[in-house]
Structure 1
Amino acid sequence: MATAKAGVQTPGRRQRSESKRAAILDAAETLFVSEGYELTSVDAVAARAGVSKRTVYDHFGDKRSLFQSVLARVNDALAATVREVIDRELTRGRDLHDALTAFALRVATEAFPSSDYVTFRRLTSQRSAPRLPGDAREHPERLLEDRFAGLAADGEIHTADPRRAAKHFTALTLLLALEAIEDDSATTGGAPEVPAIIADGVDVFLRAYR
């Protein structure tokens, strides 16, 4: 009877390994958000995931790499959301004012309230926690920069620096909207002024870049 070669994972073993990896990431994400990077131990992650400490190290190496893996997973989910909104709203040939307004509104109403964004903010706001390498992942900001580069190439906006243009747009619309959402969430449970904030921001941006 043939046996599996040493070091070669069978489908069943691979599935178990992937399940353990996912359980470790889920446990680590919960603890890194609730307890913080410094106070979260590998022992606590292993216990919550129902695996051995050795298994955590086998999959991720150390706590720093584990945190970066958690952050990368959340970043990828958030980037996928932003990419979908960009592809749907910032379409070629669409009226630019309408496109930018629709894009910012959807990010404010869909991405910001999502658990992925809340988790991302909580993970990245921890001063002592490691960061992702700048060129290692597909960051949401880079996706918008790439689309703004396309808008500049098409003559829709005038800029030699799409990255700065994207940052200006974000500051005038999304960051102000996020501030309003966070200020109002504790009192009214919403931010009815967000559409007006975004409309004003889009107008200011287009006056500067068109």
Structure 2
Amino acid sequence: MPRINAEVQTPGRRLRSEGKKTAILDAAETLFITEGYERTTVDAVAALAQVSKRTLYNHFSDKEIIFLRVLSRVNETLLSTISAAIDEELTTGRDLREALTAFTHRIVDRAFGSSDYLTFRRLLSQQQSVPRPPGAIRDRPLGMLEQRFTELAADGSIRAPRPRLAAQHFTALTISLAQEALLDHENEKDTEPPDLDAIIADGVDAFLRAYR
């Protein structure tokens, strides 16, 4: 009988444990953004999450691990947006210029304007002392686009013997330029909003001239 009770209670304990883990990450994200990585302490995270330090350390070994987990969690949401944009915009049989333009607009309009992207950028823009996510995590968006460009090259839609380089060129000509324009406008409030339509259209045209 005791064994049966323990088994019945296990899902509940697991749910409570996950709830505390989420609370810790939520609290840490808030503090890393408002206070900065250096000034945020494990004590402060535990207090804001309303858990004991022992509970916090049961889930995370130190502040660096917490920070990287917060980054990873936000990044996963962004990756879902990118994955959906690839699957729904870069579809087989669609006019390539139209598809690339729609894909880029979706990333620029939805991802860059999202709270998750702003959080990710604020966390990474802090002083150089903050831990950096592994290269494999940083490269995942490019890897996803590389895979689709590999498929486009295979069906003859683009000429790209090196799909990864093609993905890098496309990103540089479109998404990166749009991001720079948005950041410049954000830093200089009195300037006119950037013409994202023109930036994206010019970038897509330049890419297609080189790869089609």
Matches of 1:175 and 1:21, distance apart in 2: 34
- C-alpha offsets along residues 72-128 of structure 1, whole Å, 9 cap, x if unaligned? 101100000111111110001111110000000111111100011111112223322
In structure 2, the partner of 1:204 is 206
Matches within 5 A, 1:39-118: 39-118=39-118
In structure 2, the partner of 1:193 is 195
Matches of 1:136 and 1:111, distance apart in 2: 17
| 1:131 shift after superposition | 2.2
Matches of 2:175 and 2:117, distance apart in 1: 13
In structure 2, the partner of 1:176 is 177
User: Is contact 1:145–1:166 with CA below 8 Å preserved after alignment?
Assistant: yes
In structure 2, the partner of 1:133 is 134
In structure 2, the partner of 1:166 is 167
Instruction: Using structure 2 for the length normalisation, give the TM-score.
Output: 0.90
| 1:13 shift after superposition | 1.2
In structure 2, the partner of 1:151 is 152
- C-alpha offsets along residues 136-189 of structure 1, whole Å, 9 cap, x if unaligned? 588222211211111112221112222221111111111111122222345369
Tell me, which stretches of 5 or more residues in structure 1 are unaligned? none
Tell me, which stretches of 5 or more residues in structure 2 are unaligned? none
Match for 2:198: what amino acid?
A: A
Matches of 1:28 and 1:142, distance apart in 2: 29
Matches of 1:159 and 1:177, distance apart in 2: 23
Identity %: 61
After TM superposition, the runs of 4+ consecutive aligned structure 1 residues lying more than 6 A away are none
Matches of 1:125 and 1:132, distance apart in 2: 13
Distance change (3 Å), C-alpha of 1:9 and 1:108: same
Distance change (3 Å), C-alpha of 1:9 and 1:131: farther
| 1:46 shift after superposition | 0.6
| 1:53 shift after superposition | 1.2
SS of 1:10's equivalent? helix
| 1:197 shift after superposition | 0.4
SS of 2:21's equivalent? helix
Matches of 1:9 and 1:139, distance apart in 2: 38
SS of 2:136's equivalent? coil
